[in-house]
Amino acid sequence: MRMMKTVLSVVALVNSGLFAQTSAPKFDDFVQNKMKDLRMTVRSEAVRLGELRKINTDFANAYRFRQMEAYYEEPGKIRLESEVMNRKVTYVINNDKKLVIAPNQRVTEDVSNSPGKRQSMMDFGVITPFTASRMNKKYLRQEKRDGKTLFVFELTWNYGDDDARHIVWMDPKTKLTVRREWFDRWGRHMANFEYKDPVEVAPGVWMPSKVEVFNGGNRFGGRTVQQNIRVNQGLNDTLFKI
């Protein structure tokens, strides 16, 4: 009888949540490690530059394109080709160098100590192995959102001069970021990002097909549509030459 009472007590504790599993999930379980390279077309729509300027001017200027070709290759190589006001602009990140090419302009910059100056796949809703290796990760909590169980982490850069903080809501099924909140080094809420309508672009590889951005006042600033997504097809190294 005493044994039966003990078993019933344990069951009651489990059901009440007081004896629940307390081990935190590993952030590495949410890394898109099957993505070796990617090419996609990104289209902007419903952009409100006035609301984006409340984030900062550079951020607003980055949304002036109508369509962009984006390329990514591990570890951390990225190339963006767009047209802004009838001017072709190319942006390349390779290792610790950044290159920006515009009409009558070619500027190379060392970004080895400036993670905030590097575009990454985190901006498109994906955490790659390279990005994960350069971040501190702190598990915060588990949440229900739109019927899904999501895991919330705090991310900060583990190198350089950028003290920004990102709160990310991760989906264990797709390994995608569902929501990201960006805070600057002084704790100011800069922007929110919503990553929507995920698609499986290859076995076990997911990408959001829409990204919506809101400023710190939660005012809608614009949307990008990610389409024609192709992964793991191999990219020419000359795309990332600096």
What domain range includes position 223?
29-240
CATH number, domain of 78, equals: 2.50.20.10
Domain assignment present for residue 15? The answer is no
Instruction: Give pLDDT tens digits for 123-176.
Output: 999 999 999 999 999 999 999 988 889 999 999 999 998 999 999 999 999 999
Q: What pLDDT, in 10s, does the model give residues 93-115?
A: 998 999 999 999 999 999 999 99
Q: Give me the number of domains the chain comprises.
A: 1
Would you say residue 173 lies in a domain? yes
In a domain, 20, yes or no: no
Per-residue model confidence (pLDDT) at position 62: 86
Could you give the percent of the chain with pLDDT greater than 70?
91
User: Is residue 120 a part of any domain in this protein?
Assistant: yes
Assigned domain for 17 exists: no
3-class SS at 83? Answer: strand
The residue with greater pLDDT, 67 or 18, is 67
Band of the pLDDT at 15, cuts 50, 70, 90? very low
Q: What share of the chain is helix, strand, coil (3-state, %, to 5)?
A: 20, 50, 35
Residue 92 lies in a domain: yes
